[in-house]
């Protein structure tokens, strides 16, 4: 029982630390709203559980979060297994997102990269390609932000070394962002 309570306490502390990121959360939501209003799209990428989170966020925009509204254009770059395995085989795993960004990203689009380590080369490479093409880059990061914080236009960093706690905080953050974005596009 004590072990379970300790985990809950640790999780609660990390979730509470999100209050330190309200400005960047609002800035992220505002950037996404502007992106959608300008007819642009969101591309998301992550590895492992963060790939699942990228898919989750894309789905919240394309389908809906809580309110009825028009569908919003978002693509999780981790969903096309043929593309990912081909690029991984023909180029390298470090290129699985950047190669997709070469063909899919347009100026004014947003790339959201999720990395609990902050050091995922494939996300860093996607950000580099995206920036060359005029995209805005947003990092949901952990572990002091790693090397990705240095290339992100906006970095929301959960200062923890626990992947599980970082993911829990990221989920809360992206649900807040989805709420703020959806509120702007809600049908009255």
| pLDDT tens per residue across span 16-70 | 999 999 999 999 999 999 999 999 999 999 999 999 999 999 999 999 999 999 9
Global confidence as pTM: 0.96
Q: What is the pLDDT of residues 129-177, one digit of tens each?
A: 999 999 999 999 999 999 999 999 999 999 999 999 999 999 999 999 9
* Residue 174: exposure state from Cβ atoms within 10 A (0-12, 13-18, ≥19): buried
pLDDT at site 183: 95
Per-position DSSP letters for 101-143, written without gaps between them = HHHH--TT-EEEEEESSS--HHHHHHHHHHHHTT-EEEEEEEG
Stretch 4-15: mean pLDDT:
94
Half-sphere exposure (CA, 13 Å, Cβ side) for 105? 29
What domains, with CATH codes, occur in the chain? Answer: 2-185 (3.40.50.10490)
Question: pLDDT at residue 188 above 80?
Answer: no
**For the CA atoms of the chain, what is the radius of gyration?**
16
pLDDT at site 166: 97
**Lookup: tokens for 34:** 């502007």
């Amino acid at each position: 029982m004590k072990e379970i309570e300790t985990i809950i306490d640790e999780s609660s502390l990390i979730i509470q630390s999100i209050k330190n990121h309200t400005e960047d959360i609002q800035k992220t939501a505002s950037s996404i709203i502007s992106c959608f209003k300008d007819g642009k799209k969101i591309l998301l990428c992550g590895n492992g559980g963060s790939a699942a989170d990228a898919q989750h966020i894309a789905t919240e925009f394309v389908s809906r979060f809580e309110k009825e509204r028009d569908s919003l254009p978002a693509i999780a770059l981790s969903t096309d297994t043929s593309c990912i395995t081909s690029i991984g085989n023909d180029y390298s795993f470090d290129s699985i997102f950047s190669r997709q960004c070469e063909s899919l990203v347009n100026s004014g689009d947003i790339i959201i990269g999720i990395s609990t380590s902050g050091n995922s080369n494939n996300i860093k490479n996607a950000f580099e390609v995206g920036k060359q093409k005029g995209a805005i880059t947003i990092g949901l990061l952990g572990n002091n932000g790693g090397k990705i914080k240095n290339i992100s236009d906006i970095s929301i960093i959960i200062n923890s070394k626990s992947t599980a706690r970082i993911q829990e905080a990221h989920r809360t953050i992206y649900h807040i962002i989805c709420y703020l974005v959806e509120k702007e596009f809600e049908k009255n």
